[in-house]
Amino acid sequence: MSRVPGWLGRLGAGLTEMGERLDERRAEVEKEHAEPEPAPPADAVPLPDHVTVVPARPDPAQAVPWGVRVAAEAGWRVLVLAGTVWVLMRVISAVQLVVLAFVAALLITALLQPTVARLRRYGLPRGPATALTAILGFVIMGLIGWFVTWQVMENIDTLSNQIQDGIDELRKWLLHSPFHVTDKQINQIAKNLREAIGANTDQITSAGLEGVTVVVEALTGILLTIFSTLFLLYDGRRIWEWTLKLVPAAARPGVAGAGPRAWRTLTAYVRGTVIVALIDAIFIGLGIYFLNVPMAVPLAVFIFLFAFIPLVGAVVSGALAVVVALVTHGVFTAVMVLVVVLAVQQIEGHVLQPFILGRAVRVHPLAVVLSVSAGGMIAGIGGAVVAVPLVAVTNTVVGYLRAYSQEQTRRLAVPASAGSPAEVPAVSAERESG
């Protein structure tokens, strides 16, 4: 037993020596495979022993989390787009009259251009066909405006007397109605209205003084619209070809394909809206006429004009007809006019618009409300009128460009054995036409 500790000591010493040899061998192997350290430059100054070398910091972009980097990349691009839109809106607001006149010319051209094309198919030259169509179209629009003004001036005295009688009847009805309205409350409401008018006399006077400026701007806009319509009808294709030259060459094929589709959408929208508005005006006007509401024809014309403002225009024109019936013939006639207006508008929304306009120019009601509101806030009634066709055309252009981009990607992915490049567009065209 006395030899056991000595034996264990020799075994431990042997193991320790073996471990030291293994460590030396491992160090030699690592030294052989390690890259040689770069030699310091000749002019390098050796650092003192007490100086601590700080390791190099990582790239700041690599230190930022991935989600923050993506959000920052998207954020500055959104800011650039927002700034671009803001500058564009400022430019448009500065030349608002010119923009609205040109857009109105586009809408009128979309309405009249099929007539020019039909006359040219009958053999009439371009110039006479354009002149005849433009003269006929503007004469009809002028006659409509003159007729509305004439009817209003002819019936204004009778209407004012009927409105006064209707107000008296409405007051009597309110006094005996279940709403428990007292004569004192009615007099207070009338007093508040008189005070409001008196408090805003200066604003009303200034608005009247500004009327001359408004008339001058309106005449200028009408002249710009007429000249723009004439040139678009006569030389629209050449204007479009010149516009394509301003587009970058890489994007020119897609824009060249999107343009005709956008024009077809605009033409279908304008023609369909005119037909729907005409049907609304005829049927609501007949209902108002048979209910003996005064100025039935001017009200029908107002309904036709307001129908070009989707949703909002129908509500305003219908409310105007109901108010006229209320103050001239009482509550029962106003309720019957309201029933007629709602019935015609329901038929329009669920039958006429899907059948006449078609799916190509259908816009979601939420998009209609938002676009009309935004257009009205930016450019008043003119902006509300052009908002929905602008959204419809934009929807068509974006859809076509997306399909065009996917088709180009598919063409690049098709192997050579699947068909020549000339065959793929033909298949795409057949698929589109079908």
pLDDT for 54? 59
Q: How confident is the model at residue 429 (pLDDT cuts 50, 70, 90)?
A: very low
pLDDT for 80? 92
pLDDT for 211? 52
pLDDT for 197? 53
pLDDT for 430? 38
pTM for the whole structure: 0.65
Residue-wise pLDDT for 302-324, tens only, equals 888 888 777 777 778 888 888 88
Nearest to 278 by CA among 140, 428, 82: 140
| Confidence check: pLDDT of 9 > 60 | yes
Give the rounded percent of residues in the chain with a pLDDT score beyond 90.
2
| Confidence check: pLDDT of 427 > 50 | no
**Mean model confidence pLDDT for the chain:** 75
Residue-wise pLDDT for 392-406, tens only, equals 888 888 888 888 888
Q: How confident is the model at residue 48 (pLDDT cuts 50, 70, 90)?
A: low
pLDDT for 294? 76
Angle at 66 between CA 63 and CA 70, to 5 degrees: 120
Q: How confident is the model at residue 423 (pLDDT cuts 50, 70, 90)?
A: very low
Question: Does residue 124 or residue 19 have the better pLDDT?
Answer: 124
Contacts of 361 (CB under 8 A, 6+ apart): 265, 268, 269, 272, 392, 396
| Confidence check: pLDDT of 414 > 80 | no
| Confidence check: pLDDT of 6 > 70 | no
Residue-wise pLDDT for 139-176, tens only, equals 888 887 787 777 767 766 666 666 666 666 667 777 77
Question: Does residue 176 or residue 272 have the better pLDDT?
Answer: 272
pLDDT for 143? 84
For 94, what's the count of Cα atoms within 13 Å in the CB-facing half-sphere? 6
Question: Does residue 21 or residue 211 have the better pLDDT?
Answer: 21
In the chain, what is the greatest distance between 2 CA atoms, to the nearest angstrom?
141
pLDDT for 391? 85
pLDDT for 177? 67
Q: 66-75, 235-244, 320-329: lowest mean pLDDT where?
A: 320-329
**Count, residues in the chain:** 434
Question: Does residue 357 or residue 70 have the better pLDDT?
Answer: 70
Considering Cα of 86, then 313, then 156, then 193, what sign does the dihedral take?
negative
Residue-wise pLDDT for 49-100, tens only, equals 555 655 666 677 677 788 888 888 888 899 999 999 889 888 887 888 888 8
